[in-house]
Amino acid sequence: MKENETLKQIVLKSLEEGVDSLIVSFPDVEKSSLRIKIEYSRDEKSGDYSTSFSLENSKLLKRNPIQVSKELVEILQKRTDLFEKVDFTPPGFVNFKISPSYLLEYIEKSILSGDHFPKVEHPLKINLEFVSANPTG
């Protein structure tokens, strides 16, 4: 884990490494032509993060998205230090659940490094006012 690296960046890096392993069996496909992205899961039950890599790249890989997802899950499940669970849901989404032990280690390192938590990707400013019921003060 690098300093200031968010969990999302760590999961994306792991996904990219998994894609590297996957495309070894596709000599005519260049990694730069593939769309690799990670998103927060919409459903907490599915996991912490998900990717639609299989759906977005199945035509380039000339393979069914479900088959691509199965192969990617098989590769990524080996990262037991980072993931508690990696699975897929049709039509080809791959879901990631961060392991509690990795999450604890990540939080501890963040606190000990003095940079308590990574920067928020899209910070919001909030204006909070206190209005007294007493008009004189």
pLDDT per residue, tens digit, the chain (137 aa), is 566 688 999 999 999 999 999 999 888 999 999 999 999 999 888 999 999 999 999 999 999 999 999 999 999 999 999 999 999 999 999 999 999 999 999 988 888 876 656 667 788 888 888 777 776 65
Question: What residue segments make up the domains of the chain, in order of their start?
Answer: 7-112
Alpha-carbon span 44 to 11, nearest angstrom: 16
Reply yes or no: is the peptide bond before residue 135 cis, omega within 30 of 0. Answer: no
pLDDT at 16: 97
For the record, the structure tokens of 99 come out as 């392991």
pLDDT at 57: 96
pLDDT at 113: 79
- Model's pTM, two decimal places? 0.78
User: Quick check: 41 and 73 in contact, CB under 8 A?
Assistant: no
First to last CA, the chain: 51
Residue 89, phi then psi, degrees to nearest 5: -130, 140
| H or E segment and range at residue 39 | strand 39-40
CATH no., domain 7-112: 3.30.1360.70
pLDDT at 33: 94
Residue found under tokens 């977005």: 56
